[in-house]
Chains A and B, each alone.
Chain A
Amino acid sequence: MKVSMKVNGTGMSGEVEGRTLLVEFLRGGLGLTGTHVGCDTSQCGACVVHVNGEAVKACTMFAAEADGAEVTTIEGMANADGSLSTIQQAFQDHHGLQCGFCTPGMVMSAAALLKENPKPTEAQVREYLEGNLCRCTGYHNIVKAIMAASGQAVEMTAAG
């Protein structure tokens, strides 16, 4: 079947099967390989994208379900001039990544959090990232980056 969706502001379409996952369409169909597949079982969150403004795991949604939707991936997060967005820059400044595999999902989840809750507490950041796994950083610098991106002090009181 044919699906059409607006991806990062641009109309895209392609042929998919019923069983084609959204992440497969984004990566294989559209070549947007910034969205990663870590576990493929909706545990790790590396594939988080925004569908109609809400964070979803693109490995646990069919492309056909996103027909007509507005999708934002990590490729759509940088500023118009190509410079890093506030969240992305904060990840760099605070060493919020090591191998970088989980980072696209972390940035997308962070963006969803800050849209809902522009000044989260450290505990709220940690809770929101419950579905995003990182095997390198131990999370502290990711949390610092998100706190900084929200314009708040980065000192942390507790390792949740």
Chain B
Amino acid sequence: MYAFDIAKPATLAEAVQAMKTGEAQALSGGQTLIPTLKQRLAAPSVLVSLAGVGEMKGVSAKDGVLEIGGAATHREVAGQRHYPGLAELAGRIGDPAVRNRGTIGGSLANNDPSACYPAALLASGGSVKTDRREIAADDFFQGMFATALEADEIITAVRLRVPEASNYQKFLQPASRFALVGVFVARHADGVRVAVTGASEGGVFRWTEAERALSADFSAGAVSGLKHPADGMISDIHGTPEYRAHLIGVMTHRAVAAAS
């Protein structure tokens, strides 16, 4: 790693100020950032640790919306009881030691194309609260590792609409345990949302054809005949675009069966 300083603000105001200094980089759980720093793929002059920021902790539910502090760990999200589909997803990220450190805010800010949380947020609907504004879920994700966040912007909380029924199915990439393809299905009162991670070169996305079919008939049979096209799907050593496209259908089918 290149050398850097660590700032440990205790309040959001201090954190915002610290992010304005030099080449500052926010540090949340560090489960992606620290390996990145070790590979010298990033060279910040100061890491701003968000772990001590009181305003970014905690989980609360009100009027059908679950609000999770940006610094809440996967373990904390897995332990909440307001949104079972989300708890189950969080409890299967990485491994227990990773879940004790990694945070929902850090994961969403990184927007890894194979991460689980982006699918949950996009399928839930809702928003990302930052130190300066609120960004709708549908506007937040802008491609692989790209989000609507500005360079010094901090995710302070994540707000998710709690669906009537939901399920996440993840096909594990056997070495990394990230999602080779993951599908989050959420049935809301105003329609079904289906979000797919791990599959597309454009990062997480909504499968609108499946959403239409499931909004009319929320049953596994309603998506049995649907096939997602292979165009734009990731091609790598772990799978062809056609393989990933096929998995989208299979995982969607399983998620609906588990949720309904």
Contacts and interface: CB of A to CB of B under 8 A. Distances in A.
B9 interface: no
Nearest to A40: B38
Given A17-B3, A19-B37, A55 B97 contact: yes
Nearest to B5: A18
Interface residues on A, range: 20 to 34
Contacts of B4: 18-19
Interface in B41-94: 46-47, 49, 51, 75, 94
Which of B4, B31, B100 has the most chain A CB atoms inside 10 A of its CB? B100
A1 B96 contact: no
B6 A60 contact: no
B30 A60 contact: yes
A57 B6 contact: no
A109 B3 CA distance: 31
Interface in B85-139: 94-98, 100-101
Contacts of B8: 64, 67
B47 A18 contact: yes
Interface in B1-15: 1-6, 8
B3 A18 contact: yes
A131 B95 contact: yes
Contacts of B95: 45, 130-132
Contact of A42 (B3, B5, B98): B98
A57 B96 CA distance: 10
A75 interface: no
Interface of A: 1, 17-19, 21, 40-42, 45, 48, 54-57, 60-62, 64-65, 67, 109, 112-113, 128, 130-132
